[in-house]
Amino acid sequence: MTQQLNPLGQPIGPPLPGWQARPRPPRTAMEGRFCRLEAIDPSRHAADLFAANGDDRDGRNWTYLPYGPPMHWEDYRRWMEQFCRGDDPLYHAILERQSRRAVGVASFMRIDPASGVIEVGGINYSPRLQRTPAATEAMYLMMRRVFDELGYRRCEWKCDALNAPSRAAAARLGFRFEGIFRQAIVYKGRSRDTAWFSIIDGEWPALRSAFERWLDPANFDDSGGQRRRLSEFR
């Protein structure tokens, strides 16, 4: 692509003719074969999530989250009532398709309709969701909403730079590492360097195809195990 220049001969970014601010994410559910995502309703989801998170006996899941772990059901319910009813972050409960029980949380956040940028974050997968097809499908459904339904240009993933599992998950899902923001946040009384990742709209069609081929029923054996890894389809 030829570099764009302004009248002074300075390099500038490519034009976006006809660009308009994108819609904000709706609160409608996202349906998949393995899971369903619903905007969080504490009265419907808090009990299931608290029970599922109880399987994390040593509290490992909460190390890199800015809140928790909640010690009592009432504390968790109050947290959800206070922080999970808004539109940014827009929290979703991830429900197992068969049981219809909530087993994880993820959100759309730092939503910038004018620039077409959105972050997938606030992710907390209980042990019941981790390393299951539903865990991957949930992220696919969120990205499909971001790019295909809403027409955003960029989807971000950010995490504590020391959070090796989150960084590995971002790479597996097709996010590209962009760098470290040093001393970006203070949380739980400690300093955090933040690792940034992103997918942009031009990369999404190939990634969408990889997700859909991985999620195809033919890729799973009778016991539900994958025949080929997601990376093999990319």
Ranges 68-77, 130-139, 178-187, 192-201: which has the least confidence: 68-77
Does any domain span residue 177? yes
Does any domain span residue 7? no
pLDDT confidence of 47, banded at 50, 70, 90? very high
What is the spatial distance between Cα 180 and Cα 122, in angstroms, rounded to a whole number? 19
Does any domain span residue 192? yes
Exposure string for 30-43, b = 16+ CB within 10 A, e = fewer: bebebbbbbbbebe
Q: What percentage of the chain reaches a pLDDT higher than 90?
A: 88
SS3 content of the chain, % helix, strand, coil (to 5): 30, 30, 40
Output the average pLDDT for the chain.
95
On whether the CB atoms of residues 32 and 97 are closer than 8 A, the answer is yes
Does any domain span residue 14? no
Selected residue with higher pLDDT from 149 and 73 = 149
Does any domain span residue 69? yes
C-alpha distances in Å from residue 45, one per residue of 20, 39, 80, 103, 233: 35, 10, 9, 9, 34
228: containing domain: 24-233
Tokens 């950010």, residue located:
158
Going 26 to 17 to 207 to 184, the CA torsion angle's sign is negative
* The model's pTM: 0.95
Domain CATH code at residue 58: 3.40.630.30
Is residue 1's pLDDT more than 80? no
Does any domain span residue 30? yes
Report, as an integer, the average pLDDT of 46-67. Answer: 93
- The total number of residues shown for the chain amounts to 234
Does any domain span residue 12? no
Identify the pLDDT of residue 232: 95
User: How many domains are contained in the chain?
Assistant: 1
Q: Which two tokens stand for residue 154?
A: 């960029």
